[in-house]
Each structure stands twice: as C-alpha cells, then as structure tokens.
Amino acid sequence: MKLTDRTCREFADLLASKEAVPGGGGAAALVGALGVALNSMVANFSIGKKKFIDIEDKHRDIINRGCELKDELIELIDKDAENFLPLSKAYGIKATTDEEKAEKEEVLQNALKVACSAPMNMVECIYESILLHEELVDISSKLIISDVGVGVQCLKAALFSAQLNVAINVNSIKDEEYTKEVREKTEAMVEKGSKIADEVYAKVIEIMS
C-alpha cells in the first residue's frame, strides 16, 4: 500500500515507528501539500465575494495552480520513499576487497543522487506554493485570512525541512559540480521563499489587527 493511501493516523503511526519510511522527506511533502491546500481553500471561499467579483478568473487560476502543486507534493511523499530504497540497499552492500569497495561506492553515489531528487522537487514546489500565497494575501476574504497565515507558515516549515533532506544526501555526494549546483539552487529558493513567507505572514497579522 502506498503511503498516500494510508489514513492520517496510520501515516503518523508509521512516521513514529522504526520503519525507514516515511521520514523527514515525506513529512515535508505532506506539510507542504497542506500549506498549499489552504491557499486553494481561501481562494475558493473568496470566489463570489462582491469585493472580488472582478477577479474571479484570478482566483480560479490560483486554485488550479495550487491543486497541481498539492497533487505533486502528495506524489512526492511516495516518490521520496521509493527513492530511498536503493540508497538503503546500497549502504547494506558488503564489500571487503578494494574492487568491491569501489563498486559499492559507485552504487552509493548514484543512489544518493536519486534520493536527493525528490526533496529537490519538494523545494521547488513549496517555493512556488509560497508565491501563490503572496498572490492571494491581498485578494482574500478577511473572514478567512488567518488560513493564509497558517498555510504560509506550513510552507515555510516544509521549505526548510525539504532543504534539510537535500543537504543530508548532498553532504555525502562527491561530485563537486553537482553538489555546488544543488546547494546554490536550493539555498536561493529557501532564502527568497522564507523571506516572502515572512512578508505574507506579516500582512496577515496586519489585516487581522
């Protein structure tokens, strides 16, 4: 059974167990999916409000993009678990001779890059989701504006969490060109995304005051 087919309780129980998956990557993707789902909910509730009647198309566009990001993040929960398995097997390869050790290292390095791909995609999706909250915060019903704040805080936490799951793999990868590219890309999105998330949250607090 896929992780995403589990109930909320089952997923949380698995997360708390000694099972290898789900782990921090799956948790990051789930929290990110919840964060962008709140964005879509707020946009849905804002549609039809007299104040925003002229921008219904904008709200619908935000909802459509948000749903795509939500679905992608949910898929990444299973993808992260799937990509961890080759790495887990690679660590378990027995190697005694120099030749065996070299072969194990090659398998391990490839597996690390595979394991890194899902959290990298998470960072990208979560960053895009934060930008959706930035678009939505000024065109939302005040009655539900707190959920923009909740959503963007979920996304900020998920952004840093996904970055950690990139870092734990990148730190063991010896391909310097690859690691430099990955670090620069993720650090840029995390820095900008967290700043925007803070700005959106500050606007929410201001609107609620």
Looking up residue 70, the CATH number of its domain turns out to be: 1.20.120.680
Residue 96 lies inside a defined structural domain of this protein: yes
CA distances from 105 to 96, 111, 112, 167, 168 (A): 12, 10, 10, 19, 17
pTM as predicted: 0.94
Residue 86 lies inside a defined structural domain of this protein: yes
Residue 1 lies inside a defined structural domain of this protein: no
Q: Which amino acid, one-letter code, is at 179?
A: T
Structural domains counted in the chain: 1
154, 32 in Cβ contact below 8 A?
yes
Residue 72 lies inside a defined structural domain of this protein: yes
Residue 98 is part of which domain span? 8-208
Tokens coding 200: 């959106």
28, 162 in Cβ contact below 8 A?
yes
Residue 2 lies inside a defined structural domain of this protein: no
Residue 92 lies inside a defined structural domain of this protein: yes
Task: From 15, 12, 164, 4, select the one nearest 72 (Cα to Cα).
Answer: 4
Each residue's pLDDT, cut to its tens digit, for the chain (209 residues) gives 899 999 999 999 999 999 888 999 999 999 999 999 999 999 999 888 888 889 999 999 999 999 999 999 999 999 999 999 889 888 889 988 988 899 999 999 999 999 999 999 999 999 999 999 999 999 998 999 999 999 999 999 999 999 999 999 999 999 999 999 999 999 999 999 999 999 999 999 999 99
Residue 3 lies inside a defined structural domain of this protein: no
